[in-house]
Amino acid sequence: MARINVSEMNSEQLHLSRMAMLSESIKSIAFKKQQITKEYEKGDEVEVASQELDFIGSYYRIKYKTLLTNDESEPLEDVFSAAEIRPVPPHQHETMSENGF
């Protein structure tokens, strides 16, 4: 019967535990979930930043202004999570004119 080296097993378990903790930390940094401060309403203009990993939370149907369906008969629609959308930033010329520049 083979002897099991307890210190090696504990060392491997400790290593795996540390790797799991590091992996979770990296995921939380790389894929921060957006804190929603505004509820989006139908017709709101938003930007989409697609992230394939961690589709969690609310989902919103998006109708593109610049992409069409395959037959090009209407705007393409898709579904995204709240973490992948944000309000469209103000246009630079509007912001500049508001500030007198």
Integer CA distances (angstroms), 14 to 1, 9, 23, 31, in order: 25, 9, 14, 26
pLDDT at 71: 93
Parse the chain into domains and list their residue ranges: 1-30, 34-98
pLDDT at 96: 46
Q: Output 67 or 59, whichever has higher pLDDT.
A: 67
Q: Is 78 within 8 Å of 62 (Cβ atoms)?
A: yes
Q: Across the chain, what does the average pLDDT equal?
A: 70
Per-range mean pLDDT, top range of 11-15, 37-41, 57-61, 83-87: 11-15
Asked whether the predicted pLDDT for residue 13 surpasses 80, the reply is yes
pLDDT tens per residue across span 68-84: 889 999 988 888 777 77
Asked whether the predicted pLDDT for residue 101 surpasses 50, the reply is no
pLDDT at 15: 84
Asked whether the predicted pLDDT for residue 37 surpasses 80, the reply is no
**What beta strand segments (E) does the chain contain?**
46-48, 59-68, 75-81, 85-87
